[in-house]
Structure formats: C-alpha cells, structure tokens
Amino acid sequence: MRTRAALAAAVALVGVNTLTVSGAAQAVAVSAPASAHAPVPASAFQQVQWKTDTVAPGIQVRSGVLQNKGAAPVWTVTVQAPAVNRLTGAATWAPLGDRAWAGTTEEKLRAAGFEPRAERVVWDEYADTPRGTMGWQVRVGSYATQAEAQSANQAVAAGGFRTAVEWTGYDGRQAADRESIHVAVIDPARFRGTVASTHDGNVADRETTSSVAVQNGSLLAVNGGFFITSDADGVQGTVAGISAYDGELESMAVGSRAALVMADGGRHPRITDLSTTVTARAKSSSYAVQGINRLPGKVRNCGRPGAVPTELARHDTTCTLPDDLVKFTPRFGAALPQGAGTQVVLDSKDRVVSTGSRGGTVPAGGSVLQGIGGAADWLTAHAREGERISVQEVIRDSAGRQIKLGAHDSIVSAAPTLVQNGRIAIDAATEGTLDPLDLSFGFAWSNVRQPRTMAGIDGRGRLLLVTVDGRQPGVSEGFTLGEAARFMRSLGAKQALNLDGGGSSAMVVGGKLVNITSDATGERAVGDTIQVLPARRG
C-alpha cells in the first residue's frame, strides 16, 4: 500500500463552520504525516491553539503554529544523482536517482569510509503522475547543527561526490516539527468592501505586498502570481501568466493554468484553469498575438504555441519565440523594449499613429504592437497610418466558456490547482511544476516543503487566503504541494490553487506584515498582489 507524504487530514478546525467563530481561539488536532518508512504515531501530535482576529465585518484572520512532538529533523548530507535535462539534453544533477544508482553510490561511499543510507521517495498525491516509487535519495550522517553537516559535506565532496547540505524537516515524506500558518477568511455575504488583484498602476514594476497595502489603505493583502525577477528573462515585475486588473487583460496565460477570478470586486470569486487567445486584425488579414506586456521573443514559464524548447507550461523556464507579436498597454510604465523588429503605435481607437523601430513609451490612452521575425514582417506589410489594427482578446475557462471581464473584475494566476470540486486534484505535471520524466526538474519546488501562499473558495463562497512560512529550520518548514492541498481541503475549500511562494509569500493585515518572510533581505518586492479594500464612500 502506497504511503503518502501528507498532513493526511491536515488540520480539523472542528468542522468548516468554526472559521466563522469569532473571539476565543479554537483547538485543532493535527493528524500524522507518514514517511516512506514508518508513520509517526498520532499520539505524538499536540493540540494547537489558533489566535483569531476579526479585521472587519466578514473578515477573519487565524494564526497558529502546528507542532509535532514526535518529529526529530536533523541536518544531513545528500548525494546528487547525475541527470540530463529532458528539454535541452544538457548534463545536470537531480536530488534523487533510481535504485541501481543508489546501490552503486552506497558502495562507493562505504569504500570511501562513509556510512550512507538510501531513502525511498514515493510520488505524492498528484493527479497526473505515476504512483509508487519516485526514486531514491542517498544520504550521509545525521547532525544536530548545520555547521556539523557542512563540515561532513566537505569530506564527502572531497571524495568526488556531488553533494548538498539539507534539513530533513523539509522532506515531504517525514513529519514537520513546526508550521507557522495564517488563514484569512473573507465572506462576501458580510464584507462590504472589495477584493481585487492589482499591479498598482505599473505592470513593469515590483513592490512589496505591504507597501501596496499601505498605499491603498488595505485591510488585508497577500502576494499574487508568478512574475519575472531577472532582466535575463524579460522585464522585471511583469507577470508570468494571465493577469487582469480593473477589467483589462494585462498579460496572457501560460498554456491553461489555474487562476483566481475575482468578479464584481470579489463578490463572486471562482478558481478555474484559464487560457487566452489574442488576435491582431488589419482588414482581412490577422496575426496571433502571443504576449501582452512582456519582452518579445522571451516567454517566462513557456506555454505558448511555437515556443522553444517547449510549447507546454514549464515553471521557472524561459522559452524563446522567433516569431512573436506582443501588445503593450498603458499600464506598461517602463521604457519599451528595443532591438530588431517593428513597432506600431496605436491610438485609443486602434488607428495606426506611427510605424518604425522599437522603443519609446506607450502613449496615454493608446497601445503599442511590437513584432519580431514573421510578426515584424506582418506589421510592416499591414500597418498603414490612419488605418485600424484591432486586437481581439478572448479568455476561456477549462470548460471552453468565454469569460468577459467587467470593470470591477480582476484575475491573478499561478500553479498548480490544488483542490477541485472538493477533492484533491494536483495537476503538477500538466501545469508544468513537475516533470515525471525528468527528476532534475521540479522536485524541490513540488515535493520539498517551501513557504507557500494559497487561495481557495469554500462551500459557502468564502475566499480563503493562506500563507505558511518556511525555510526556517525548527521555526516553520512550509508545505509540499500535497500538504498545501490537504490543508486547503481541511479548511473546507471546494476549489484551491497555489499562488507564488518562497520568498514572495507574504500576508499583510492592517498595513503590517504578519508572517515571517524567507528572503535574507526582508520582504520581497513582487509583481501583482491581492488586496482586500474597505468600502469607500461614493
């Protein structure tokens, strides 16, 4: 019988309805994760008290630390396995390998004077990956401090092994000792304000979640979707996935990935996979637009037709598009990208104002089209001053239904789906956060505990915004994707998705950061955020 690296039932808040209780904290029983070897006895877990704050009518925030007295994480040295990147063919390393590699590596380590151990790793509860054994990790030693492990690591590495120092509390197959969690519940039936994703006016900018919250007078805020952090991958701050603010589409989908749609100012939230099709038309001719507000030729997280080396979604991977047509909107506040290709400036009625080389800025009320390769040729052939080039944007959900945006609608996207129709449904392979055919890709992101931000919708239509701190040994270790899904389901979520995490994870209440972020420099400046705003007069 396959064991699961899980929180199992994660957290029982004495039933879903306890989330509406204000005042006294609720006790919660934490059930036991099971390792790949032996489950931790349920008796090892203790009751956890949740501190409940009512931020405004219809908004509650619960904070608590899940603790497991039976957990005994240590520092250790993990030997890496040689691997090949499936997309590029380049030699690389993986945190685990097959049984034959593990056996051979153990023999080599023993011959070098070490005492290794091989640990079996099983697939978690993904909807689109194999079952049973994922691979094997080979480790050396159990150390009380990181410094001791680093000293041992030097000796192992000197023997010709590729190694890494790791905290076993991050292993999804072993029990975590502490998890610091914040759960925000927004009830649209009682809350009179609005909930919306925002890039705060400039999609080519990065700001901290707390600074945006303070500027907007938000009651509560969390970080949003994936975004570009390096100039090598595009324009920093621009979103890598679908986004919409105030009813305007500001970036395109990565394949068909999970998204949180906040319709009518958050009164009717929903979670579904979204795809986008954008088409430029000049009289009887048309050309596919593959991007909005991004660097032509580069697609972060891939997921677009014609992308190289893959058209499929691939997390934290930058693909290229030799023929690329990109639209820039007034919210693109940076200088427009320069380089080879053609640029067409359009006015508010989509009439061509000018055609020429790339660069400058987006005119107020207008837009810009930039093309490279075949797209540049199409613009050159069809853009005539004073004539129209219309751009049609279509957003569809997983059922193929078109979503039409209203002025008070917004969208934030990340990956993967965690819960669907009340059941755990983690499509990590489909949404490109894990590759069953390449264990060098996505294992740490998906199967290792990380800081995470999640969004869900329960059976009463309430929006759940959740953060779990991580990368803090002995303080808070984070969730795997599987644990995140099980936790959201335990809260009563019928639908849930994983938002951006790691150093981006942040929750702000009343203008103050309430969680402990994992970036060494403090709170990370991010792309977009989700802001919960009070009702305004008028």
What confidence tens digit (pLDDT) does each residue in 386-438 have? 999 999 999 999 999 999 999 999 999 999 999 999 999 999 999 999 999 99
- Give a yes or no: residue 465 inside a domain: no
- 45 pLDDT higher than 50: no
- The model carries a pTM of 0.92
The percent of residues above 90 in pLDDT, for the chain, comes to 88
The helices-and-strands tally (H runs, E runs) of the chain is: 6, 38
Q: What is the pLDDT of residue 39?
A: 33
Query: What average pLDDT does this structure show over 210-226?
Result: 98
- Give a yes or no: residue 97 inside a domain: yes
- How far is Cα 23 from Cα 366, in angstroms, rounded to an integer? 51
Q: What is the pLDDT of residue 47?
A: 56
Distances (CA, A) of 530 to 47, 139, 225, 363, 504: 31, 41, 9, 27, 13
Q: What is the pLDDT of residue 46?
A: 55
Query: What average pLDDT does this structure show over 131-157?
Result: 98
Same domain? For 287 and 221 the reply is: yes
Torsions phi, psi of 438, nearest 5?
-150, 95
Whether residue 373 contacts residue 324, with contact meaning beta carbons closer than 8 Å, is answered with yes
Q: What tokens appear for 122 in the block?
A: 């099983």
The last residue of a domain, from among 375, 397, 419: 397
Q: What is the pLDDT of residue 129?
A: 96
Distances (CA, A) of 75 to 164, 165, 168: 10, 7, 6
Q: What is the pLDDT of residue 25?
A: 29
Query: What average pLDDT does this structure show over 360-366?
Result: 96
- 43 pLDDT higher than 70: no
Same domain? For 159 and 210 the reply is: no
Tell me: the pLDDT tens digits for 72-99?
999 999 999 999 999 999 999 999 999 9
Tell me: the pLDDT tens digits for 159-179?
999 999 999 999 998 888 999
Same domain? For 204 and 115 the reply is: no
- How far is Cα 190 from Cα 367, in angstroms, rounded to an integer? 39
- 329 pLDDT higher than 80: yes
- How far is Cα 91 from Cα 400, in angstroms, rounded to an integer? 40
- How far is Cα 260 from Cα 244, in angstroms, rounded to an integer? 10
DSSP structure string for 30-80: EPPPB-SS-BPPGGGB-EEEPEEEEEETTEEEEEEEEEBTT----EEEEEP
Same domain? For 129 and 239 the reply is: no
Q: Is 512 exposed, middle or buried (0-12, 13-18, 19+ CB in 10 A)?
A: exposed
Same domain? For 255 and 298 the reply is: yes
- Give a yes or no: residue 489 inside a domain: no
Same domain? For 105 and 233 the reply is: no
- How far is Cα 244 from Cα 256, in angstroms, rounded to an integer? 15
Same domain? For 161 and 276 the reply is: no
- What is the domain extent for residue 202? 194-397
- How far is Cα 467 from Cα 506, in angstroms, rounded to an integer? 7
Structural domain tally of the chain?
Answer: 2
Query: What average pLDDT does this structure show over 15-37?
Result: 33
